[in-house]
Amino acid sequence: MTNFEKLKMKIKEVKIICKILDVATESYSVDDHVRALGIKYTEAMSTLLFIADGKRKIILLRRDDRNVDLKKFKQILKANDLRFANEAEVKAFGFEVGLLTPFLLDSSFEIYVDQKTTEMNKVICGSTVLDKAIETTFSEVLKNLSSYQVIDVTIPNPKRQDQASIQRVLSGITPSGKGFHIGNYFGAVKEHIEMQNRIPETFYFIADLHALTTVKNKEVLEANIMSIVLDYLALGLDPKKSIFYRQSAVPGNSQLTVVLANYISYGQMKRMHAFKDKLQKGASVDSVNMGLFNYPILMAADILLYQPDGVPVGEDQRQHVELARDIAESFNHTYKQDIFKMPEPLIKEEKIARVVGTDGERKMSKSLGNTIEIFADPATVKKQIMSSYTDPNRVRATDPGKVEGNPIFLYHDLINDDKAEVADLKERYQQGKVGDVEVKEKLIIAHQRMFGAAQAKRKELENDLDTVRDIMADGAKRAQAVAAETLEKVYETIGLK
């Protein structure tokens, strides 16, 4: 009998009041289920299985907007060692990873219920099969637990709290150069693409007006724009799921910029880092390009016009999103109406947010020439990987090497989906049993595995530029519809209608 059949029997036998829900998903992850079911994280509950001191089977029921404080949990359990059960252990106890249910637990498990879980009314939890979930109430869940203990062991999970209320996100990327590198991908683009599946409305645009601060050559600008458009589409930006457009194609971006400039002071603008950086690099105040000085106002306009809840950006752009909030607040306050929504900057943890360059020192960046590109020809990618910095203290392949902080292994962690191979390479590297060349060659192969399909897709798109132009025209039309609505409201509010 399958677990799911057992579960159905139990439901009948114990008269558990519940509903079996169909979940339109192919992968098991809480994020996926929450999205597919259209529920909130505060309505989802996970049954987590831990192993304490190598033998105790610990179950924790947790509401999914919370993270487990492992240190605290360990103390409560008076355990020396506490970790998630691995796949083999979960299987040995008769379940599958990610497919546990509170209804089939027996007395061989020590069961803990996080206090926040007890606040749940509606509960959606796992069912032991991928595409079904159980909807019930917390008291029904309790009915089935032979014995349990309520503890206070979780802390808020900021990511899930944000996302629970985020309906619309927007982000832009400046076409100041050509060709995405893995820093762009893992720092920004990958998340943009994943958000398409998680967040109902995603707006992504090519900030071509912003590029004018540095690019003043027609052919170069045109080539940069097309290059970014193709890179994005090849990597999975789906114009059916996202509104994808060029900033300059929506006149409202420029129109709103002119209006918003009146709700911010020179003093505040002077503090913006794009401007300050320029001065620091030796430019005199008088020579600073006004496009650069006004850059944050244009950015505020291209955010506020679309009324997003969240703006996923790198840490370097936080100040600009905050300026957009200041401008929105000043405008709303002036007219005593909530015309603009306050956008939240959505910023990743530093650890994943910054990919180090092949010089092993600075952030990977086009202008520093320390990149591993995604769409360059194989010979270039090979050269970029082969010339990457590794462990400088390792002279011979037989010397034990350092894995921690070694850029080649950081790249393996990001790019190489063969985790067993990565673990093996790391182990041998530390023991002095593998040369840099082999580690790098495996990375080249992994790069091809991860990006090969995108490279092929890009070639296809290059041969069908008409379709690409249609996609952008359609995106601009849809963006314009949203922008026009806000602009209309703004003109009406200030007396220009």
Active site residue 366: yes
Binding mask 299-338 for ligand ADP (x = CB under 6 A): ---------------x------------------------
Rg (CA), the chain: 26
- Min dist CB 144 to ligand TRP, Å, is 48
Q: Give me the catalytic one of 132, 341, 348, 366.
A: 366
Instruction: Please calculate the CA angle 148-149-153 and round it to the nearest 5 degrees.
Output: 130
- Min dist CB 182 to ligand TRP, Å, is 17
Which amino acid, residue 49?
A: L
Residues 99-128 binding ligand ADP (CB under 6 A) are none
Give the residues lining the site for ligand TRP (CB under 6 A): 170-174, 207, 210, 299, 302-303, 311, 313, 317
- Min dist CB 295 to ligand ADP, Å, is 13
Query: Residue-wise over 459-495: b if at least 16 C-beta within 10 A, else e?
Result: eebeeeeeebeebbeebbebbbebbeebbeebeebee
Q: Give me the catalytic one of 10, 190, 363, 382.
A: 363
Q: Give me the catalytic one of 74, 278, 440, 442.
A: 278
- Min dist CB 191 to ligand TRP, Å, is 12
Contact status, residue 365 vs residue 371, Cβ threshold 8 Å = yes
- Distance, in Å, from the CA atom of 220 to the CA atom of 102, rounded to the nearest integer, reads 60
Q: What is the DSSP string of 280-291?
A: HTT--GGGS-HH
Residue with Cβ nearer ligand ADP (401 or 407): 407
Nearest to 187 by CA among 385, 372, 418, 347: 347
209 binds, among ligand TRP, ligand ADP, none (CB under 5 to 8 A by kind): none
201 binds, among ligand ADP, ligand TRP, none (CB under 5 to 8 A by kind): none
Residues 156-185 binding ligand ADP (CB under 6 A) are 173-174, 176-177, 183-184
- Position of tokens 């910095």? 389
Residue with Cβ nearer ligand ADP (175 or 239): 175
Residue with Cβ nearer ligand TRP (288 or 444): 288
Distance, C-alpha 378 to centroid of its chain: 28
Dihedral of the alpha carbons of 186, 187, 192, 195, in degrees to the nearest 10: 80
- Position of tokens 């080649």? 408
Residue with Cβ nearer ligand ADP (357 or 475): 357
365 binds, among ligand ADP, ligand TRP, none (CB under 5 to 8 A by kind): ligand ADP
- Min dist CB 365 to ligand ADP, Å, is 3
**H-run or E-run covering 45:** strand 45-52
Instruction: Return all residues near 221 (Cβ < 8 A) that are at least 6 apart.
Output: 175, 208, 211, 212, 215
**H-run or E-run covering 443:** helix 436-462
Instruction: Please calculate the CA angle 299-303-304 and round it to the nearest 5 degrees.
Output: 115
Here the tokens at position 388 are 């990457």
Phi, psi of 370 (to 5 degrees): -120, 40
The set of long-range contacts for 59-62, using a CB threshold of 8 Å and a minimum separation of 24, is: 59/100, 59/102, 59/105, 59/109, 59/110, 59/111, 59/112, 60/112, 60/113, 60/114, 60/153, 61/102, 61/111, 61/112, 61/113, 61/114, 61/117, 61/141, 62/114, 62/116, 62/117, 62/154
Residue with Cβ nearer ligand TRP (68 or 299): 299
299 binds, among ligand TRP, ligand ADP, none (CB under 5 to 8 A by kind): ligand TRP
Active site residue 341: no
183 binds, among ligand ADP, ligand TRP, none (CB under 5 to 8 A by kind): ligand ADP
- Min dist CB 176 to ligand ADP, Å, is 6
Q: Which residue is nearest to ligand TRP (CB)?
A: 172
Residues 345-374 binding ligand ADP (CB under 6 A) are 353-355, 363-367
Helix (H, G, I), strand (E, B) or coil at 18: coil
364 binds, among ligand ADP, ligand TRP, none (CB under 5 to 8 A by kind): ligand ADP
- Min dist CB 17 to ligand ADP, Å, is 48
407 contacts ligand ADP (rule: CB under 6 A): no
172 binds, among ligand ADP, ligand TRP, none (CB under 5 to 8 A by kind): ligand TRP
- Position of tokens 């690019």? 215
303 binds, among ligand ADP, ligand TRP, none (CB under 5 to 8 A by kind): ligand TRP
Residue with Cβ nearer ligand ADP (105 or 173): 173
- Min dist CB 7 to ligand TRP, Å, is 46
Which amino acid, residue 424?
A: D
Binding site for ligand ADP (CB under 6 A): 173-174, 176-177, 183-184, 187-188, 314, 353-355, 363-367
| Catalytic residue list | 278, 363, 366
